[in-house]
Amino acid sequence: MNKAVFILALLLALPCRPASAQDNGDVCKTTSLPSHIERRLENDFAGFDIQQPVDLNAEASERWQALQPLTCPGMASGHFASASYLSYAFLLVSPITGRFKLVLFFTEDSAPLVLNRSPGNADVDRFFIRAMPVASLLRPASLRKFQPRAPDGILLVGADKDVTLNRSDAYFATMRGFRFAPVEY
């Protein structure tokens, strides 16, 4: 067999992620974050990294790339707690333990709130987050039931080739604190 044909066949057989997922690492730069959040991420969540585009499995990457505008799969900002001020959410993953934490930061003087923790070995490569208007995440009956107090929510998307694992949850602020509800997304 011709050496060039062999090398081409070998390259075509290698699994790979879509090139655009690899090229979008700059959507996750933390340089635009408030300095107090950068410090808290480094100090309070050592051993956890922000979920990156290259860390997503093929199904999650495809689903993430379909959303426009393209944002970091591990960071979201919005009016999650109040319409008055901006909040920041992070999907932090541990490459060592296989766990994730969904963490929300409010104002400079408040402690971060951990909204969700994976039980361990949660296949963290299938998850990403997105800021969305609460009104687009919940049905009208759920909006009446929960009475969200802020305009934005956090969508935690799970995507996998096993469709039983394709679960999405919406996290949003109510008068009784943060709640979550499974949503179809």
Nearest to 166 by CA among 157, 177, 175: 157
C-alpha 87: how far from chain center: 14
Q: What are the pLDDT digits (tens) for 62-99?
A: 999 998 888 999 999 999 999 999 999 999 998 888 88
Give the separation between CA 27 and CA 129, rounded to whole angstroms.
13
Give the separation between CA 155 and CA 180, rounded to whole angstroms.
9
In three-state secondary structure terms, 45 is coil
What would the mean pLDDT of 146-158 be, rounded to a whole number? 93
Q: What are the pLDDT digits (tens) for 95-112?
A: 888 889 999 998 777 788
Please identify which residue in the block is written with the tokens 């049905």: 139
Is the pLDDT reported for residue 136 higher than 70? yes
Give the separation between CA 104 and CA 51, rounded to whole angstroms.
14
